A and B are shown apart, each in its own frame.
Chain A
Amino acid sequence: MGFRKVAIVGAGITKFVRRAQETGPEMSYLASKMALDQAGLKLKDVEMVTLGTAPDAFDGVHMKGEYLLSGAGGNNKPYIRNFVGGGTGVFAPIHGWMHVASGACDVCLVVCSEKMSSCHPHPQGAFLTIFDHTTEQPLKPTLIWIFALEMRRYMETYGLTKEDIARVAVKNKNNALDHPSAQVAEAVTIEDILNSEVLAEPVHRLDISPASDGAAAVVLASEDVAKRLTDKPVWIDGVGWNLDTAYWATKDLYYPRYVEKAARMAYEMAGITEPHKEIQVAEPYDPFDYKELHHMEGLLLCERGEAARLTAEGYTARTGNLPTCPSGGALGVGNPIAATGLMKVIEIFLQLREEAGKRQVPGKPRVGVAQAWGDLMQVGTVIVLRR
């Protein structure tokens, strides 16, 4: 399609924690510096910078892109902030890909940073205003209850139990025990999940990822530069993104069509025709445990309604046929919104380079997919990586 080849040549990620002493710009710096060091580059080698971060209201700073600029290495460079809610963390590297694939530059730094803990007493208060001010806000909605509506419809459609769903949280929180950045890694069992507090039926506290502070960054390079910098470039083979209406009550709630559309866009670019056979490791977005199942189906990694059974059979375990969230995902590593998606892209990058340490999936994977999702059940962002 006339795009230049683009590789990831370096990555950095901070610890994810409930409350960081570091400010947003400080966290951005730590992740950016790690990514540049791994790539063997200095800031002067970076031509353009793109930054992903979620709502301004988390920080109470109404120029968040500019606020984070210097920590993200953007001073006096072509720099821009991007934002598609929870989908931002995978959209940011897509945005960086546009910069390099188009020929606008050879080296682009992509930074995602989120500090949710400034928002007091809880960032749910900031989420209140994503709902329609006339038809929803008077009910004082929370994100948890709209996901409860979606989860119930998904369970009912395919006859799933809470145990079926909880297996995802068990897998991911256990996987996260091997992730150095993890905030809520724990050797939990299905009983632990089901015995945790009910927040909004059928959602329990441990079905949900936590609010977090954290940052992540990658360096993208054009083909010539990437081959000079590393023997192990990981190529961005396909990108896709898609948004559906904010009138979320119009949707069927059991199938994320916008994720499928984003996935098909990315697969077509990557020449993937049978994703369930060709993709060897996946990081579907898992802010809630049922969302991983939802997204496996939307990513066409299995038939609709099959994801829970495959999970129960160990198909998605680290040693299974198609490991999902080997990082530990948002459920185990934590969920600093924009940084979470980029953490997932970085996990696929590390897996394909066989540098994931104890998290490494067997079989020398060559092709992986990362996906994020967000706003009012309406955003899908997908990236296919190949070594």
Chain B
Amino acid sequence: MSFKETIQSNIQLSYFEGQIPVNYQYTLGVAGNKFFETLKQKGEFIASVCSHCGVKTIYPLIYCEECFNPIDTYVSIELEGELYSFTKCYRDYQGNTYDEPHVIGLIRFDGIKGGIIHRLNINEKDLKLGIRVKAKLKPTNKRTGGLDDIVCFEKV
């Protein structure tokens, strides 16, 4: 209803097809590797701890964003945190409608800077900011050392 111009598609103009023919292989990084290896092996989250200013950060970093000193200390933290915000999404990034809406949340952990963005599996009536949630992990033998080792977050 809001789009007034008449040309709705490039195929109504003269056009040609193009693409950027590349793929990528991203390393996890030093801190990222520690995080996802720990998740895979032990089923735990780790945060980095700055020994200069004390700030703890998740996902962990090898340098402190606050005081710019190097970090070499990492600690395990609870899989449980607080739901800081959430959204129910109806379309994917190409504009296609999902079969089921995806519910995504930002989870914060007590006393720790940062958070984890992930899927939520929580009843509609319980979905509120501030509720306690906990990560549900894949079984050990199914974990690959990536974000999908976390299945979702559920209400505690």
Contacts and interface: CB of A to CB of B under 8 A. Distances in A.
> Size band of the B side of the interface?
35 or more
A186 interface: yes
Contact of A247 (B1, B65, B89): B65
Contact of A206 (B2, B4, B57): B2
A355 to B, nearest CB: 25
B9 A139 contact: no
B30 interface: no
Contacts of B59: 135, 247
Contacts of B32: 134-135
Contacts of B20: 57, 60, 62
A117 B4 CA distance: 16
Given A138-B148, A140-B92, A250 B114 contact: yes
Interface residues of A, number: 56
A199 B93 contact: no
Given A18-B3, A121-B95, A136 B117 contact: yes
Contacts of A197: 90
Interface stretch (A97-105, A124-132, A234-242, A364-372): A124-132
A137 to B, nearest CB: 8
A76 interface: no
Interface in A190-229: 192, 196-203, 205-206, 210
A304 interface: no
Given A60-B20, A134-B147, A139-B117, A200 B85 contact: no
A121 B129 contact: no
Interface in A136-158: 136, 138-142, 144-145, 148-150, 152-153, 156
Contacts of B148: 138
Interface in B87-122: 87-95, 104-106, 113-119
Contacts of B90: 197-200
B50 to A, nearest CB: 14
Contacts of A133: 24, 26
Contacts of B18: 60, 118
A152 B147 contact: no
B149 to A, nearest CB: 10
A200 B88 contact: yes
A199 B148 CA distance: 24
Contacts of A144: 89, 91
B7 A124 contact: no
A60 B113 contact: no
A245 B115 CA distance: 14
A19 B115 contact: no
Contact of B88 (A21, A60, A118, A201): A201
Given A60-B19, A138-B147, A117 B10 contact: yes
B93 A249 contact: no
B21 to A, nearest CB: 10
B90 to A, nearest CB: 6
A210 B113 contact: no
A379 to B, nearest CB: 16
Contact of B113 (A62, A201, A250): A250
Interface of B: 1-5, 7-10, 12-13, 18-20, 24, 26, 28-29, 32, 36, 57, 59, 65, 84-95, 104-106, 113-119, 129, 146-148
Going nearest first, the 7 A-B pairs with the smallest beta carbon separation are: A148-B87, A200-B89, A149-B85, A138-B147, A133-B26, A249-B115, A153-B85
17 contacts: A17-B5, A57-B20, A134-B28, A134-B36, A138-B147, A139-B104, A139-B118, A152-B85, A152-B129, A173-B2, A183-B3, A184-B4, A186-B2, A188-B2, A200-B89, A250-B57, A250-B113
